[in-house]
Structure 1
Amino acid sequence: MTPRPDPDDAGDGTEEDVLRVLLVEDNPGDATLVEHHLRQGSVFDVADEVTLTHVETVEAATDRLGDGEFDLVLLDLGLPGSTGIDTLDRLPEAAEDLPVVVLTGLDDHGTAVEAIQRGAQDYLPKDDLDTDRLMRSIRYAVERHKQAMRLRRQNHQLELFNSVLRHDVQNGMDVIHKHGTVLSERLSGDERDHAETIVSWSDDMIDLTRKVQGMLSAVTDDARDGSRVDIAEPLREQVDRVAAMEGVTVEASIPEGVTVEADRMLSAVFGNVLTNAVEHNDSDDPEVTVDVVERDGTVHVRVADNGPGIPAGLRESVFGRGVQADPDGGGFGLYFVATMVEGYGGEVTVEDNDPRGTVFDIALPAAQEAWSRTS
């Protein structure tokens, strides 16, 4: 919306918000009805004033939108030369930064859903159009669009932060690790211990940096690029690592050829859940069981332990940022797990193990070529 000087004000610089609407409608009667509703309705919670410009074709809309003069588009899907979703697709790039409310003479739910998926903010059948419904749709469209723009700006900022981590911080930590390693090989005694401490801490920081990069990518990516991962290798790698810990018994059933929609950070996801199952296990003989099953196009990686369990009231909160599953534990690992799994289009849940302990169920979308087995 564009602020402009208030003509009724005595030149004191007071401004009012004007919502400038472009109506793309080839039916004069429908255009008159929309204009009537706009005159009758109230947009004071969105703007001080609404103005309407009417054109009859996508070509005319393209010419007007290029001037950057509008804040919202009301678009009829049935226009000369285009019908249905094709009309929405023909809007110029200038409309990508504007909220679009689709108007149509067809009460077609499928078209409505597709229009929203293509970027429209709302869908209004003309036969059901009235003043309240139109004004409510405009208000919601404007607010949703504002939120979308805020999220887009935040994503750009996160992408910049991710780039800094990937290039500057990661490269710097690699240099520190390299020189620390050289020193640890050449020194002895206390000096060697100091150098090895540098190497150890740089390893931890490199690992943390990669996890943060993975979470930032999960947050900022609108859609995954279709990367497919056979879970056998990363899951077996993490199982072997945990099984090497002293006093821990691990039983794992990991089939070959189980492919999911994920990326290279999936190994760290498995590693965090498995490590959590061991580090918070108070049993004299810690046991961890890993199973993989597929149901209805979803691959479930289930990690069960015989530890103290997690109370039902805390199972959702343990995935929160900075939340601790117990007084001695850290919450970053599980927050990382939840963020990454959600970024893959999956879900991680917690349930009781029988007779004691916890089961973490990592549900991931199976790739199209994934296996067809049932539990």
Structure 2
Amino acid sequence: MRRRISVLLVEDDEDDFIMTQALLSEIDEPKCDLTWAQSFEEGLSRLVDGSFDVCLLDYALGERTGMELLAQSATAGVEVPIIFLTGQDEHRLDVEATRLGAADYLVKSRIRADLLERSIRYALERARSLSALRLLNRELELTRDQAVRANQAKNDVLTAVSQTCRESLGTIVACNDALEARFAGRDAVAEGYAREVREACRTLERLLTDVLDMSPSASEAPVVQPRSLALAPFIQEVVAAVRPLVGHNDNTLEVSCADDIGAIETDPAHLRRVLLTLLANTCKFARRGRIHLSVTRRSEGGVDGVELAIRASGLWMTPAQLELLFASIPQADAGVAPRGAWTESGISGSRRVCRLLGGELFVETEGARRSVLRVWVPDRWAAGGEHRPS
């Protein structure tokens, strides 16, 4: 058996109450239980109580109006669907009632039992939909809050680990300096090893600095810190950092970068992270391949810039497959959007960084069996990314 519908009538005229009662009695399904509130104050109190399925609200309520009650009920957070009743057939009232949240608008002289039943049925269905939407919104807000807390916790851990690594790195550097001083002029081989350790420590220190720089609080906006970047030494640093990964899958790495290629104005930390991410992922998925990194000057959309292209002969995929594969690789996410948002995957995260720098990341294939990742950045960064090619 279907449950009965509880109906609240806010109406100061007894004749209209009797008429409404008669109309509701003609409705077979659903059966309605009518409660009559004879004043503005009583009607608002009953609505705030929230124990009704639907409300029929008259426009004229003595010195007050149904419009005022409608507005106040919305302010009070009333979720009971309200059907507005009036003796005036005015489009203006209809529009205003709808704007204030009324589920329907009926002219008293035209109300029939079937029309009233239809209006109540539609109002109830609308209320169920709105209730489901509110529930979904609350769940989404809860999920968002949980994600914010989780990202912040991850950011705190990342910062703590990075700082601990830096402290340990400082100890390694100090010990290596002491060993280098002891072996100076005595053991050329040991001196060579010490120099390699020193250079490796410097590379790790720069990477740790980049990690810490990319761990802002959730409320911070993306920050680009452009400065002049000499490309040849920069590429040497990146290659040195990624070189240990190259041989894991029997790959080889070749670099083409002219010593006189010059400098650009960009954010070195962001660009370094893009290249390290793409090179590391390429090394991971290429098998017995030749990975080639080329750095060339090239215009894009009429803007002068630099292209850093990664070609892998051992990574035979279409651009769509390449994007999908790299997108499945979780990256270090230092916080929530917008800065953390660009680290959600290899390709999409790196593309966000490139666009922030005014450039673009292209995923393509050359010929039948060679993939290419092309990073293009302008010679000079401009706020707002005006240089980004279309």
What is the TM-score normalised by the length of structure 1?
A: 0.48
Higher helix proportion: 2
Rg (Cα) greater in structure: 2
